A and B are shown apart, each in its own frame.
Chain A
Amino acid sequence: MSITYLEAIRAAQARALAEDPRVFIYGQDVGAFGGAFKATKGLAQEFPGRVVDAPISEDAMAGLAIGAALDGLRPILEMQFADFSTLAFNQIVNQAATLFWRTNVPCPLTLRLPCGGTAGSGPFHSQMLETIYAHYPGLVVLTPATVEDAYSMLLEAVAIDDPVIFCEHKFLYYHLKAEALPTEALPANEARIARTGRDLTIVTYSAMVHEALAAAEELRGEGWEVEVVDLRSVKPLDTDTVMASVARTGRLLCVGEAFPWGGVTAEVVARVVSEGFDLLDAPPMRLNAKDTPVPYHPNLWSAHRPTARTVAMAARKVLHS
């Protein structure tokens, strides 16, 4: 048997619904239709009344989930695409994120954001928004890169007493496969060493983990041993694991698929430089998407985001400096 990243997300939701009567799913087309990506396929039939179609009202969808969370339920809110969550931005960052701090009443909701680029999707169906949400106090932001993490971190997201922004990468939906669902998991806030090495640390997350792993394989042919750290969660950020890796390698490259201004890669570099300057043998480097909207045409799209080839090029720069 093999299971895809998308099937893992569906399976995690099925399990959450089965195990916890407080869980329900709300989103556009999630009911009988099973969701735009089929992440909720069959769940409305299996759990009548608990997988509910929403009108195209992202603000009100988020507001309803917040109210339900306040009243003790555990909503999973599906945005059809991460890009449309900007219409719910106010509810997410001002209402959900501040609620516990203001009132001492928790707001346990999971916001599923199908994010990131796939060829041909263009400016409004491709965005990475983890940076924007990580900026706000009161949110947890998870960015699973593997089938196992998609499953276990979604279950943990539902169990967390805070609003969790669950960034699931559409590029990984279908082609990433695992043999089986995991039976145990790292806690969501711990980064994972996806590949060990001694010459360079690449810190990355979500779909870029796979580009970094491919680049590391390419660089092995050139005699370099590259360590890849998968952050898994960008907030909280596991600085300890990053720092320990940089202490071993002395070199750092941070790779992200989001726009280049600020963001997760900048945060990681800032932390390493300010807390571990002495560990570095060379200036650290960042590699992000380009500072334009995400282009539609596959030729442009694959030049807009980092790929194994550009990650390897950036890595060589750090290795040779």
Chain B
Amino acid sequence: MLLARLFDEKFASLYRAGKIMGGVFLGRGQEALSVSIGVHLRTGDVFAPLIRDLAGRLAFHEPVLDAARTYLGSVQGPMRGRDGNVHRGRPKSGQLAMISHLGAMISVVNGILFARRMRGVDGTVGVASYGEGATSTGSFHEALNQAAVEQLPLVVVVANNQFAYSTPTVRQFACDSLLARATGYGVAGAAVDGTDLGACLQVVGRAIAQARAGRGPQLVVASLLRLCGHGEHDDAQYISPALKASPAGRDCVKVAEQYVLQQEWAGADTIAHWRAEAAQTIEAAVVTAQRESAPDPFAPHYWSALASQHRWERREEGS
């Protein structure tokens, strides 16, 4: 989570320097929750992350270069300049490349889990990560109901960070807690303090283990606060100082550091060393991505959207 926090900070500074095309979206304040997903996933599992999931992606073995290359538009990134920033992925490695439309990835995860079952592959878990705003979409509802009907090993992690862009939760839903929805869908539900790394590891870990053990879909709802704007273009003036000072506004990275120190798992100098190491890794990735070529608009492969293109072309030549 430290690596993710520092990487995000690097992207923010590159954005301010005008080095990044398009938006930059940070996971500041959500690293504890996100990383708890990544560390519990295994090779063969599926993760549909959202915009604030750099920590979870890295923990689920997304190459450090992927984020740098995608943000900086390197042709060597997984998206080859076709899509940017957080819309990256490697479907073959179980890291799905999201579409922007909120809620839409859950049923795709369902489909992969459904296919695994049909092919007789056991033990796969799929996690989809969303904010509380996305819970209001039809896709979210359809997909959770579908997963429940099919009893798929799906875990949906909802980060209730109190705002969807600028919209507070009172304008998003009217139930007391999103956890109540779990009962409605007939899936297991668990709440967690998203600022507490230990709690997140435990609750998310348990949900993933339950799904893996065949106990059906799991909904985890975490409460926390987005410690940044919606994107780096947004100063988030709509977040009140009182909310920032509330327990939900704690910085999960600081909380985790204090916990590590308290438990004497590591000293201040070790943490400083981790930071320096992470900074070095990030610097190297950014320098590499910056040196790489940008996409070439004259490369013909950019301008064909069909995997079956050759099928049609061969026929044209042959006829």
Task: Spell out A's residues near B (CB within 8 Å).
Answer: 24, 49-50, 54-55, 57-73, 75, 87, 90-91, 94-95, 97-103, 105-108, 137-138, 140, 160-162, 187, 189-190, 236, 240
Check A72/B104 contact, CB under 8 A, given A102-B82, A140-B308: no
**Residues on A with beta carbons closer than 8 Å to the beta carbon of B111:** 63-71, 75
Contact A59 B139, CB 8 Å, known A94-B104, A189-B312: yes
CA distance A57 to B137 in the complex (A): 13
**Given the contacts A68-B112, A71-B116, A102-B82, A55 and B145 also touching, CB distance less than 8 Å:** yes
Q: Of B87, B146, B306, which one neighbours A55 at CB under 8 angstroms?
A: B146
Residues in A with CB closer than 8 Å to B105 are: 63
- What residues of A have a CB within 8 angstroms of the CB of B315 in the complex? 187, 189-190
A103 CA / B287 CA spacing, docked (Å): 24
Is B82 touching A101 in the complex (CB atoms < 8 A)?
A: yes
Task: Check B118–A66 contact: CB distance below 8 A.
Answer: no
Q: Which residues in window 127-161 of B have CB below 8 A to A? A: 138-139, 142-143, 145-146, 149
Q: Is the CB of B107 within 8 A of A161?
A: no
**Which of A50, A60, A97 has most chain B Cβ within 10 Å?**
A60
CA distance A174 to B5 in the complex (A): 63
Contact of B142 with A60 in the complex, beta carbons under 8 Å: yes
Q: Kindly list chain B residues whose C-beta atoms are within 8 Å of the C-beta of A90.
A: 101, 104, 139
Determine whether the beta carbon of A138 is less than 8 Å from that of B145. no
Query: Do the beta carbons of A94 and B118 come within 8 Å of each other?
Result: no
- Complex partner residue of B107 from A59, A105, A108, A137, CB under 8 angstroms: A59
Q: Is B108 an interface residue, CB under 8 A from the partner?
A: yes
Among candidates B91, B138, B306, residue contacting A103 with C-beta atoms closer than 8 Å: B91
Given contacts A60-B107, A98-B99, contact A67 B305 (CB under 8 A): no
CB pair A100–B306 under 8 Å, yes or no, is yes
Min C-beta distance of B147 to chain A, whole Å: 9
Given B90, B114, B119, which contacts A67 in the complex, CB threshold below 8 Å?
A: B114
Closest to A97 in B: B305
Interface presence of B252 (CB below 8 A): no
Docked Cα-Cα span, A64 to B143, in Å, equals 9
Residues B99 and A95 in contact, CB atoms below 8 Å apart = yes
Going nearest first, the 9 A-B pairs with the smallest beta carbon separation are A67-B111, A63-B107, A60-B142, A57-B142, A71-B115, A106-B307, A138-B305, A137-B305, A64-B111
- Does B306 lie within 8 Å of A138, measured CB to CB? yes
What range describes how many residues of B lie at the interface?
35 or more
Question: Residue B97 at the A interface, CB < 8 A?
Answer: yes
With a CB–CB cut-off of 8 A, which chain A residues contact B97?
Answer: 99, 102-103
22 A-B residue pairs with Cβ-Cβ distance under 8 Å, sorted by A, are A57-B107, A57-B142, A59-B139, A61-B146, A63-B106, A63-B143, A64-B110, A64-B114, A67-B107, A67-B113, A71-B111, A71-B112, A72-B115, A90-B104, A91-B107, A95-B101, A95-B104, A97-B305, A98-B99, A102-B83, A137-B305, A189-B312
Q: Which residues of the partner chain B approach A106 to less than 8 Å between Cβ atoms?
A: 307
Check A60/B115 contact, CB under 8 A, given A100-B306, A101-B82, A106-B307.
no
Tell me if B92 counts as interface (CB < 8 A to partner A). yes
Complexed CA–CA distance, A190 and B311 (Å) = 12
Bound-complex Cα distance A190 to B104 (A): 35
A100 surroundings in chain B (CB, below 8 A): 305-307
Q: Is B29 an interface residue (CB 8 A)?
A: no
Contact yes or no, A59 B115, CB < 8 A: no
B89 within 8 A of A: yes
Most buried by B among A57, A72, A98, A107: A57
Residues of B within 8 A of A108 (CB): 307
Contact of B110 among A60, A72, A189 (CB under 8 A): A60
Judging by beta carbons under 8 Å apart, are A102 and B79 in contact?
A: yes
Report the bound CA distance from A87 to B118 in whole Å: 26
Chain A contacts of B149 at CB under 8 A? Answer: 55
A140→B304 CA distance, assembly (Å): 13
Give Cα A54 to B307, complex, Å.
Answer: 28
> What are the residues of chain B within 8 A of A24 when measuring CB–CB?
118
For B181-208 the 0/1 string (1 means CB < 8 A from A) is 0000000000000000000000000000
> Which residues of B are found within 8 Å of A61, using beta-carbon distances?
107, 146
In-complex Cβ contact of B146 among A57, A73, A98, A190 (8 A): A57
Please state if B312 and A63 are interface contacts (CB–CB under 8 Å). no
Among B83, B111, B115, find the residue whose CB has the most chain A CB atoms closer than 10 A. B111
Across the interface, name the chain B residue whose C-beta is closest to A50: B118
Known: A102-B97, A106-B307, A236-B312. 4 other contacts (CB 8 A): A71-B112, A95-B104, A103-B89, A240-B319
- A103 cross-chain contacts in B, Cβ below 8 A: 78-79, 89-91, 97
Say how far A75's CB is from chain B's closest CB, in angstroms: 8
Contacts of A140 in B (CB 8 A): 306, 308
Q: Smallest Cβ distance from B258 to chain A, in angstroms?
A: 40
Report the bound CA distance from A161 to B116 in whole Å.
19
Taken together as a complex, chains A and B put the C-alpha atoms of A57 and B143 apart, in Å, by 8
How long is the Cα–Cα vector from A99 to B105 in the complex, in angstroms?
A: 12
Report how far A55 CA is from B304 CA in the complex, Å. 35
A63 partner, pick from B116, B139, B307, beta carbons under 8 A: B139
Query: Do A73 and B119 form a contact, CB below 8 Å, given A55-B146, A102-B97?
Result: yes
Partner of B311 from the list A58, A69, A160 (CB cut-off 8 Å) is A160
